[in-house]
Amino acid sequence: MSLLRTVVLPALGAIAVLTAAGRTIRLLDGDDPREDRAVRALQAAFGHLPAEADAALAPGSTRAAAREPVDRVTAPLSWYSGVPQTIANGALWCGVTWVLTRDRRAAAAPGAALALETACFVASAALVRRPRPSGVWRPEHPHATSSFPSGHTAAAFALHGTLADLLDRRGARGARLVGPLLRCGVPGAIAFSRVYRGQHHISDTVAGALLGIWSAAVVRRTLLSS
């Protein structure tokens, strides 16, 4: 009963809110929203055009243009936030936390945050079904899932926010410095990388960030508050 009240019902509420928000955004601004103009302008400022993505993604092709600095930075960030990497990252931190604390609730926290975020993401994405941005430079293949919300962004905020909570809980030295980097710096950079590389509309990453922050808060309240 406690799990139903503290996790299941809030998760259903989060799915409902995300679905309503995603469908409203599509209804009001269509599938080629005005927010994408800023993304296209930023990409163009660094010399990227949509046609370049077609050449870059063609089988056996190589990119002729030299990679500019933002491309070089966002590529590993986008890779780091990928699904296999995130699963491995979560499992790694569950194991590290168990070795350091021998606390089952703390050790389960990173995995729980990712599981909650993933459940809400998958359900809401299936209901919203928003297409990926069009007419943008996209140097990597997008996932087949809906563009809204951004699952990579949500997972980054959920996992890294939970890691920051674990540091705070242990009173670890340097938590005041590392905490903001984990909560905002790394996930925010990942969100930017997903937008810059044409994988998501800006509003997708905003929704993903809110989902990830909420997921970490639920885990903090249910597993780490005692």
Summarised one tens digit per residue, pLDDT across range 44-60 is 999 998 866 544 554 44
What lies within 8 Å, CB to CB, of 93 at 6+ separation is 110, 159, 163
pLDDT at 220: 96
Tell me what the mean pLDDT of segment 18-45 comes to: 95
pTM score, two decimals? 0.91
Of the two residues 100 and 58, the one the predictor is more confident about is 100
- pLDDT for residue 65 is more than 70: no
Tell me what the mean pLDDT of segment 87-109 comes to: 96
- pLDDT for residue 29 is more than 80: yes
User: What does the alpha-carbon distance between residue 151 and residue 159 come to, in Å, rounded to a whole number?
Assistant: 12
Residue with tokens 């293949």: 141
Q: Which string of b and e fits 73-85 if b means at least 16 CB within 10 Å? A: ebbebbebbeeee
In the chain, the amino acid numbered 48 is H
Helix axes 104-128, 83-101, angle to 10 degrees: 160
Q: Which range has the top average pLDDT, 62-71, 72-81, 133-142?
A: 72-81
In the chain, the amino acid numbered 50 is P
What lies within 8 Å, CB to CB, of 53 at 6+ separation is 136, 137, 138, 139, 198
118-122, 202-206, 222-226: the lowest-pLDDT one? 222-226
Count how many Cα atoms sit within 13 Å of the Cα of residue 74 in the half-sphere of its side chain. 19
3-state secondary structure of 4: helix
pLDDT at 62: 45
Q: What is the C-alpha radius of gyration for the chain, rounded to an integer number of angstroms?
A: 18
Tell me what the mean pLDDT of segment 177-206 comes to: 96
